[in-house]
Amino acid sequence: EVQLLESGGDLVQPGGSLRLSCAVSGFTFSNYAMSWVRQAPGKGLEWVSAIFASGASYYADSVKGRFTISRDNSKNTLYLQMNSLRVEDTAVYYCAKRHTTVTANFFDDWGQGTLVTVSS
Amino acid sequence: DIQMTQSPSSLSASVGDRVTITCRASQGISSSLAWYQQKPGKVPKLLIYAASTLQSGVPSRFSGSGSGTDFTLTISSLQPEDVAAYYCQKYHSAPFTFGPGTKVDIK
């Protein structure tokens, strides 16, 4: 069974930093592209960042230059380093796994999410 | 970047009604479109990919169509358990943008 477990969400002041983790199990992590998707309170889904199996990474314009996605295949863990946080970064952050059989970046497995609150 | 829009932003329909949601891309994305359902307080669930391929386990009352810039998600007979927000997502190339969502409830 595929499991994705996010952690690291917290209350942080504007300008601060936070690192999110997503520990995975139930599939060969190193073979799959992974993404972070966020959802601000009462709002829609926003794709944030993706990292491919090759290590290539991509970012939404809203976080480019502030957030860094990475992966540790030996630990089966995905990360999101978030710097220079803004109030508008407040959201539940989900990690999501690329579809099991189709090599394309839509998601058939999601974690339960971790809440990041940016406030003074 | 390609922008994604959805219409309507919300709708209310009766049980058994046919419901159609539209998603539009600002540029052509071939058939690289997915649809998700998110029930209140729950994690998003994949319904459809490649514009019209039903994800395993998804009821057959859900269907998708379209290619290029215009796509539709249809619920052939709305059920109470279909109350949710529905999102389209392009995956043709990064950024893998979601549409703003459509909220569906029961009249």
Q: What are A64-112's pLDDT values in tens digits?
A: 999 999 999 999 999 999 999 999 999 999 999 999 888 889 999 999 9
Average pLDDT along chain A: 97
Alpha-helical segments (H) within B17-102: none
Which of A58, A106, A110 lies closest to B43 in CB terms?
A110
Q: How close does chain B come to A90, measured CA to CA in Å?
A: 17
Contact between residue B86 and residue B101 where contact means Cβ atoms under 8 Å apart: yes
Q: How close does chain B come to A93, measured CA to CA in Å?
A: 11
pLDDT above 90 coverage of chain B, percent = 99
Q: Which pairs count as long-range contacts for B5-9, CB under 8 Å and 24+ apart, including other chains?
A: B5/B99, B5/B100, B6/B86, B6/B87, B6/B88, B6/B99, B6/B100, B6/B101, B6/B102, B7/B102, B8/B102, B9/B100, B9/B101, B9/B102, B9/B103
Chain B residue whose CA is closest to A110 = B43
**What's the rounded mean pLDDT across residues A8-25?**
98
Chain A residues inside the 8 Å CB shell of B21? none
Chain B residues inside the 8 Å CB shell of A45? 36, 38, 44, 87, 89, 98, 101
Residues 6+ apart with CB under 8 A from A56: none
Q: How far apart are CA A36 and CA A69, in angstroms?
A: 8
**What's the rounded mean pLDDT across residues B16-21?**
98
Site of tokens 């060969």: A28
Whether the pLDDT of residue B92 is over 90: the answer is no
Q: Is B98 on the interface with A (CB under 8 A)?
A: yes
Which of A37, A61, A108 lies closest to B46 in CB terms?
A108
Q: What is the pLDDT of residue A102?
A: 82
Q: How far apart are CA B70 and CA B86, in angstroms?
A: 16
Contact between residue A116 and residue A46 where contact means Cβ atoms under 8 Å apart: no
Task: Count interface pairs A-B at CB distance under 8 A.
Answer: 59
Q: How far apart are CA B1 and CA A101, in angstroms?
A: 27
Give the bridge partners for A7, in sequence order.
A21
Q: What is the pLDDT of residue A20?
A: 98
